[in-house]
Structure 1
Amino acid sequence: MLCDFQGVQFYPYLSQQFSIALDAYLQILATCTYKLQGEVPMKFSLLYAMDGNDSLKRVLKKLTQDDLDTKDNSPLAPHSSELPTMQFVGGDHYLLDDYIEQFSRDSPADMLSLDDDEDNPCAGHWKNMRDEKTKKMWGVFNKSGIFMSICRHGFSLVIADMVQSGEQAKYPLAVVSTLLDTFGSDLGGGYDIGCCFKTTLSRSTLGQRAQELNHTSLIGAFHGHAHQCLRQLDHLATYVKGLGLEDLEGCKRTFSKSNALASSVRYASTFHQRQAIANYFQHNDDHKVYANLSTFLYNNYKQALRILSDGQQSLPRLMRELGVEDVSIFDAWLAEERTYLTSLTHESNHETLQMERDLDAAMTAWSVTTPSTVQFGPRNIASTNKVKTTRRHAMENYEKDLRVVQEREAKLGVACRWVPEDQEWKDAGRLVAKHKFQRVLDHLEGLVVAQIFELAKMNQAGTGYKLRKHIGKALQVCSAAIRTALDKYNTAARALSPPRSTLSWEDIVEYAFLADFDLLCDARNNISHRPWATPTGRQTMDTYFKMCRACEEIHHLNVEIHRLATYLHDEDHYILECEKKLQNLHPALAHQVGLHRRIRARFMAHHYRRLDEISALDGFTGSIERGESIERGLGASASSPTACIPPQLIADVLPMLRGGIDDDLEDLEADKNDDTNGEESARVLEDILQVTLDV
């Protein structure tokens, strides 16, 4: 298309040169990758979020029965009325389907194993990752949506079409592979099911490479609360070091805008749908995200300063209430909570052995029936045979259980076999009751988790009326299940010795934090007096860790603000110099460069004004002075531009340049003739004046 616009012949190397230049340009994110000399390194070189969206579907245009050839029953017969096309969307935003398919599951070994892993107990708890949820899609749709990634500032990085499937693992794997190739090491990727994807990534062909490049799988701040309390201590945004105040939920905000595109691409062809989506996100990057970049930095800086200001007032008071003098104790409390919750994931082997002693159950089942008389008739034969069979089975079970009991008595070091009157027997009975209590509490917790987050979604801004009604109906169904689980919980709580406090329906609906609910999951230890288990202790820990993340955010922003200030100067200077050098060599190309410069220049004054406002904030510790980029190669914004015009474009403008030279020679001859005529006229006038003076 560019060759047609310039009126020159197409050559393959021209598209390669353009692709290389475009790739280099797209990799430059003003605040993410425009690194400067002497800047303090960050834990994550690039933070990004990725997620799937099913709004941008595309209907499959199937052949009608009349169009189908009844004689052609081969499986390769076409099922779509669309003609094949060789058109494709340029740029490197869109991933090719063939590239994505290399990450699909092609062996019986399922990368998305749903078995609980000792290091990742959440891996098997996400129903949307099961095969029946991801393998199939409604037959009416050919494209079920898009899967994309964006940086923390909102710039789109990679887009992939989800073809006749749900949100399968191959899409995030393809995205991670592309980002590792493009941006290198120390990437942090946020995903709703980051804990499950962490296991998937480590077991995939990308696992070793991702580990070598220090890739970190993270979870968005909103979805992090849906995970087990133990996993929250490792993945919740509040506790992840180096994350700052980033919530990794940018995809949700991006999709809330791109959903308006759905109606226009639902029945478009494959090429035109991709073209519309790519153009939309390109326009969004150039005119929305880039325009809001400095405002994003300004708002985040104000938020971080406000958290620090509030924390500096409340944290000392809370520490005095707890009798704490050193803030390092909070990390120790977090480790202690992690150790405690880890112990709850597996029952004690000692207690399990005690609970599983079922020898006496077998002894009770084993009985001997002695008839009152020795007279047997035909009627007694059937009952006698039944009793003999039951007695034989009881003896077999007794012998089997006796061997098991002997083994476990040896493991427990039991010298004398327990009887119901022994204290050990009573303790084991209480353990069984606690075990039942733990199980019903876990079930109740799962239902309350669903209710809390459905309520949060229903009250979330931007949720439509129909969706609110749908969630409301789902909560009505869930409420009945919660009431049933609550009754079982209260029954098990009263069976304990001493009885545990029961819960009412009013208590359940008031729960807002899953971590607090998880603290009820204690049937072996009393943690009510541990500092990190008290409301004041938890508030103090949250305040401290939020302040830590705010300090990290200020560090991130200081680096990014300095990068933006430098990028604004370097980019504008570089493009302006390119335009000047091309003005005489190739005016048409210079015009295109000027158009690009004017698109970016329209936001220049806004960015500089925001940078001034940031520097005026009370507590600002960064710099808005121009720095020095580490990139000085050909094409870098900080380098000196060199005008390189393809030979075909030069040949296109040579006639114009030669015409300009001929015109210049003619002008010089004309000027010379004019000078000669002027000199002659001056001499004639001088002679006339001389004659007049003589008279």
Structure 2
Amino acid sequence: MFRILQLCCPHLGIQPFVRALCDIHGVAPRPYLTTQFSIAFDVYLAIRANIDARVQVTLGRNTPNWRLKNTCPACMYKLEREAPIPLPFLATIDGNNSLKRFWRREREEFDADGKSVPGASKERLDNCVAPGDYYLPRGEVDKWSKEGLEDLMRGFVPGSEVEDEGEGCTERWQNMKEDMTAWAYGMYDETGIFPALCRHGFLLVVVDMVKSGELAKYGFAVTAYLLQVLGELGLGYDIGCKYGKMVRMHPALSTLAADNSFRVLIGAFHGHAHNRRCQLNNLTTYVSGMGLEDLEGCEKYFSQSNALAATTRYATAFHRQQAITTYMKHTDTVGAYQGLSLLLASKYRRALKIKGTLPLLRQTMASMGVESRSVFETWLEKEKAYLASLKKEPAHETLQMEYYQKLVNLCDHEERLDAIIGVEAPFIPAPQDAMYAQAAAQTQRMETQRCHAAEVHAKTLAAVQDLEIRLGGGPRWKPEDKEWMEAAMMLRNRRYQRALDELEGLVVARMFELSKVNMSDTGYKLRKHIAKALQARSKAVKSALETYNAAAAALSPPRTPLTWDQIVDYAFLSNFDPLREGREDIRDEPWAQPGGRLAMDQHYKLLRADEEIARLNLEIRRFVTYMRDEEAFLLHHERRLRSDGNEALAHQVWLQRRERARFNPVDMDRLVKLSKEPGFTASLLPGIGINKEREVPAREDDDVEMLDATPAAPPRHEGDGEDVDGGGDIDVDAVADTLEHFLRVTT
């Protein structure tokens, strides 16, 4: 009872449950009762794990990585004669620091210098290991740390530098910064988990983050494990732009990733916090073969698993991992599997709804004068090329702006030097006069100022002369020259861009903090802290807004100033991109107009909807085939064990068959309802699995036992055996078998 209750409500701990038992039985609660119950519960879970292991051996499912290769029916139960699709397996990874565990230590000590030193560890030495293969061992993860890579780096010759598609995103994400990711938590041992999930929410593998934040080694370890076991892989990560480059430059992962067509992308939610250039290269909307997948499964999973924190924060290392593993197995069996048909149906309906917007897109194209949807592909390439041109200022323009700034400084230094030289020296009285010392000190100060001004003027003049040589010579610019005015305009544009970047960054932080204020399960203290930070951030945003408007007004022609209401209404970072100006004016380009951008995005959503339907057609048929084959396989072994006299194992196989089979009628009902909707193109007829391990010898009574009731064959009437075309008799038995098969599938 406690195991089921805790799996349904992870907040429930052992102590409140034991107190409830004491109240039911009318006895006073005692501390030793909680300890006894905890020991009994550990033994109970160990017995269940041992039984599961024996059943897996009996079924032949004890091979290495069997669970990972068969976790998700829709992803992994491939069928014969399937049409190939790009990126056949999609997963998502991320770190979560909610499931921390306090490090048990003695009180802090003080050394000879009076500095506090952490107390000695008083963790209980426990050799118990949580059952199952969800966790990667710590030793395997540590091989991917900086220390473990020293041997790999010896003799490694890096290839050409990989283009950094995520340039500009690094400063926005804390887990991209080395000083932040290397920060160790002083009070925790395990500081969270780093899981990987498939696109349907089934857990693939998880590692513990130990005494650190979200380091690269956790992602490397998980990625290498998935590539070695599953092969070709598309991965979603909130810092996918940076992580993809790290993998491609990694001495041990680069070859493995290239051989398996590895691709890292950013999720739909986190993608809007990346700059536009990064979005065009890494957002799922613009990547062929991705369908409508958002790659945000980890965020949904964390919203449920965070409830475990209440019972694992002060647990031992073994009990924490045991609770997490038990919960993960439960969510795979009951949560993800039970909701698989609902997820497939909702994804299919969403894709059909998006396909229904095609007439509206055609009307928009007609009003914009766009003849073909291929024009949108051209627009996207133009936008990419434009943003790539803004990545780095041309060297010639940089020299011109630097030369202009030095000339301005030189003019200022000349005026200051002339002003100092033009000041008459004070009259110095005779040495015996009382004013002699004061006048001499003033003269010395003026001479020092003149010397300093002359030195600064000489250095600036030397820098100007050096830049003139690098620019190819020519007469020195003057304020009335054309080159002077053009360089001044370029410098003002640069200040405008920097003011826009600062404003954009502050608005990003404000948006994410606002989302956290209303997040469920956020503590009171954290909400108060965020509220105070928002007050200070709002002042910073207003200050940055004033700086931006001043820089925008200095342009020629001046840009329209922004108001506070516009900043508050900005929901996505891409809204800032039309504000940017480069060396060419793009404001008249169709892809820079709001209507053009919406039409282009709608075009790519329609492309992804077609890909999503193609992928779902495969996944739905895989799921239907899996339900039939798994039921028949477990039923066969249940009979075999009973015939051999092993009733105990046969009962356990029956329990395992019932564990998922109870959801199959509901799943088939959902899929049958989906098949009646217009636009549905998948097949609900089972196929033939590529993996033959579930093949069993056919028996005449299989269908009778697998189904509660098999419809009888229709009665034969006069004339049933005659061919209406006069070509011969109909094979009535074949027709009856076909009808019976159709009715069985429908049931």
> How high is the TM-score relative to the length of structure 1?
0.82
Letter in 2 for 1:528: R
CA–CA distance in structure 2, aligned partners of residues 371 and 592 of structure 1 = 103
- Pick from 111, 118, 125 the counterpart of residue 84 of structure 1: 125
Contact 2:162–2:245 under 8 Å retained in 1: no
- Pick from 82, 91, 97 the counterpart of residue 54 of structure 1: 97
Instruction: Give deviations 1:632-651, integer Å, cap 9, x for gaps.
Output: 2xxx223559xxxxxxxxxx
Partner of 2:27: none
Cα pair distance change 1:616/1:638, threshold 3 Å: farther
Determine whether 1:365 maps to 2:413: yes
CA–CA distance in structure 1, aligned partners of residues 425 and 537 of structure 2 = 61
Cα pair distance change 1:354/1:248, threshold 3 Å: same
CA–CA distance in structure 2, aligned partners of residues 374 and 122 of structure 1 = 57
**Superposed CA RMSD:** 3.4
Q: Pairwise mapping of residues 289-300 of structure 1 onto structure 2 (< 5 A)?
A: 289-300=336-347
Partner of 1:645: none
Determine whether 1:611 maps to 2:671: yes
Instruction: Give deviations 1:513-545, integer Å, cap 9, x for gaps.
Output: 321211101153322211111111111111111
CA–CA distance in structure 2, aligned partners of residues 46 and 245 of structure 1 = 14
Letter in 1 for 2:410: A
Letter in 2 for 1:151: C
- Pick from 244, 260, 264 the counterpart of residue 291 of structure 2: 244
Cα pair distance change 1:83/1:449, threshold 3 Å: closer
Determine whether 1:35 maps to 2:81: no
CA–CA distance in structure 2, aligned partners of residues 363 and 468 of structure 1 = 53
Task: Give 3-state SS (helix, strand or coil) of 2:373's partner.
Answer: coil
Please report how far the alpha carbon of residue 179 of structure 1 lies from its aligned counterpart in structure 2 after TM superposition. Answer: 0.8
Partner of 1:637: 694
Instruction: Give deviations 1:500-520, integer Å, cap 9, x for gaps.
Output: 211111221122232121110
Please report how far the alpha carbon of residue 459 of structure 1 lies from its aligned counterpart in structure 2 after TM superposition. Answer: 5.7
Partner of 1:322: 368
Contact 2:143–2:149 under 8 Å retained in 1: no
Letter in 2 for 1:637: R
Partner of 2:212: 165
CA–CA distance in structure 2, aligned partners of residues 106 and 423 of structure 1 = 57
Contact 1:142–1:164 under 8 Å retained in 2: yes
Instruction: Give deviations 1:1-45, integer Å, cap 9, x for gaps.
Output: 99x979x9xx99x99998834732442121111111111112112
Task: Give 3-state SS (helix, strand or coil) of 1:179's partner.
Answer: helix
CA–CA distance in structure 2, aligned partners of residues 116 and 24 of structure 1 = 36
Partner of 1:592: 652
Please report how far the alpha carbon of residue 454 of structure 1 lies from its aligned counterpart in structure 2 after TM superposition. Answer: 3.2
CA–CA distance in structure 2, aligned partners of residues 510 and 580 of structure 1 = 65
Larger Rg: 1
Decide which moves more: 235-244 or 371-380.
Answer: 371-380
Contact 2:200–2:336 under 8 Å retained in 1: yes
CA–CA distance in structure 2, aligned partners of residues 156 and 394 of structure 1 = 66
Letter in 2 for 1:316: R
Letter in 2 for 1:629: G
Letter in 1 for 2:273: A
Please report how far the alpha carbon of residue 403 of structure 1 lies from its aligned counterpart in structure 2 after TM superposition. Answer: 3.2
Task: Give 3-state SS (helix, strand or coil) of 2:124's partner.
Answer: coil
Partner of 2:726: none
Cα pair distance change 1:41/1:324, threshold 3 Å: same
Partner of 1:334: 380
Determine whether 1:576 maps to 2:622: no
Cα pair distance change 1:374/1:182, threshold 3 Å: closer
Cα pair distance change 1:447/1:116, threshold 3 Å: farther
Partner of 2:544: 485
Letter in 2 for 1:27: K
Letter in 2 for 1:610: R
CA–CA distance in structure 1, aligned partners of residues 426 and 371 of structure 2 = 86
- Pick from 127, 131, 140 the counterpart of residue 187 of structure 2: 140
Determine whether 1:475 maps to 2:534: yes
Partner of 2:712: none
CA–CA distance in structure 1, aligned partners of residues 217 and 78 of structure 2 = 31
CA–CA distance in structure 1, aligned partners of residues 174 and 341 of structure 2 = 40
Please report how far the alpha carbon of residue 475 of structure 1 lies from its aligned counterpart in structure 2 after TM superposition. Answer: 2.4
Instruction: Give deviations 1:407-432, integer Å, cap 9, x for gaps.
Output: 2331xxx6443222222222222222
Partner of 1:382: 444
Contact 1:116–1:123 under 8 Å retained in 2: no
Determine whether 1:120 maps to 2:177: no
CA–CA distance in structure 2, aligned partners of residues 595 and 448 of structure 1 = 54
- Pick from 684, 687, 690 the counterpart of residue 624 of structure 1: 684
Task: Give 3-state SS (helix, strand or coil) of 2:76's partner.
Answer: coil
Letter in 1 for 2:222: V
Partner of 2:558: 499
Q: Percent identity?
A: 40
Q: Pairwise mapping of residues 283-432 of structure 1 onto structure 2 (< 5 A)?
A: 283-309=330-356, 311-357=357-403, 358-359=406-407, 361-362=409-410, 365-366=413-414, 367=417, 369=421, 379=440, 382=444, 385-386=447-448, 389-390=451-452, 392-394=454-456, 396-410=458-472, 415-432=474-491
Q: Pairwise mapping of residues 152-191 of structure 1 onto structure 2 (< 5 A)?
A: 152-185=199-232, 187-191=233-237
Please report how far the alpha carbon of residue 121 of structure 1 lies from its aligned counterpart in structure 2 after TM superposition. Answer: 0.3
Contact 1:188–1:217 under 8 Å retained in 2: yes
CA–CA distance in structure 2, aligned partners of residues 415 and 147 of structure 1 = 61
Please report how far the alpha carbon of residue 587 of structure 1 lies from its aligned counterpart in structure 2 after TM superposition. Answer: 2.6
Letter in 2 for 1:362: L
> How high is the TM-score relative to the length of structure 2?
0.76
Partner of 1:441: 500
CA–CA distance in structure 1, aligned partners of residues 453 and 126 of structure 2 = 78
Partner of 1:676: none
Partner of 2:247: 201
CA–CA distance in structure 1, aligned partners of residues 507 and 333 of structure 2 = 43
Instruction: Give deviations 1:315-352, integer Å, cap 9, x for gaps.
Output: 01110111001001111111111111222222233322
Cα pair distance change 1:78/1:23, threshold 3 Å: farther
Runs of 5+ consecutive residues of structure 2 not aligned to the other structure: 1-42, 112-117, 154-160, 430-435, 699-747
Determine whether 1:454 maps to 2:522: no
Contact 2:165–2:281 under 8 Å retained in 1: no
Please report how far the alpha carbon of residue 468 of structure 1 lies from its aligned counterpart in structure 2 after TM superposition. Answer: 5.5
Please report how far the alpha carbon of residue 564 of structure 1 lies from its aligned counterpart in structure 2 after TM superposition. Answer: 0.7
Task: Give 3-state SS (helix, strand or coil) of 1:90's partner.
Answer: coil
* Count of residues paired in the alignment: 617
Contact 1:144–1:162 under 8 Å retained in 2: yes
Cα pair distance change 1:324/1:467, threshold 3 Å: farther
Letter in 2 for 1:422: D
Instruction: Give deviations 1:165-204, integer Å, cap 9, x for gaps.
Output: 111111111111111121012x111111111212222233
Contact 1:58–1:142 under 8 Å retained in 2: yes
Cα pair distance change 1:270/1:422, threshold 3 Å: same
Task: Give 3-state SS (helix, strand or coil) of 1:324's partner.
Answer: coil
Runs of 5+ consecutive residues of structure 1 not aligned to the other structure: 71-76, 642-695
Task: Give 3-state SS (helix, strand or coil) of 2:471's partner.
Answer: helix
Instruction: Give deviations 1:203-232, integer Å, cap 9, x for gaps.
Output: 333222112211111111100000011111
Please report how far the alpha carbon of residue 273 of structure 1 lies from its aligned counterpart in structure 2 after TM superposition. Answer: 1.3
Please report how far the alpha carbon of residue 402 of structure 1 lies from its aligned counterpart in structure 2 after TM superposition. Answer: 4.1
Instruction: Give deviations 1:542-597, integer Å, cap 9, x for gaps.
Output: 11111111111101100001111111111111111111112122332222212111
CA–CA distance in structure 1, aligned partners of residues 495 and 163 of structure 2 = 24
Decide which moves more: 379-388 or 468-477.
Answer: 379-388
Please report how far the alpha carbon of residue 395 of structure 1 lies from its aligned counterpart in structure 2 after TM superposition. Answer: 5.9
CA–CA distance in structure 1, aligned partners of residues 58 and 126 of structure 2 = 21
Contact 2:137–2:207 under 8 Å retained in 1: yes
CA–CA distance in structure 1, aligned partners of residues 494 and 107 of structure 2 = 61
Contact 1:42–1:556 under 8 Å retained in 2: yes
Partner of 1:684: none
Task: Give 3-state SS (helix, strand or coil) of 1:454's partner.
Answer: helix
CA–CA distance in structure 2, aligned partners of residues 589 and 550 of structure 1 = 46
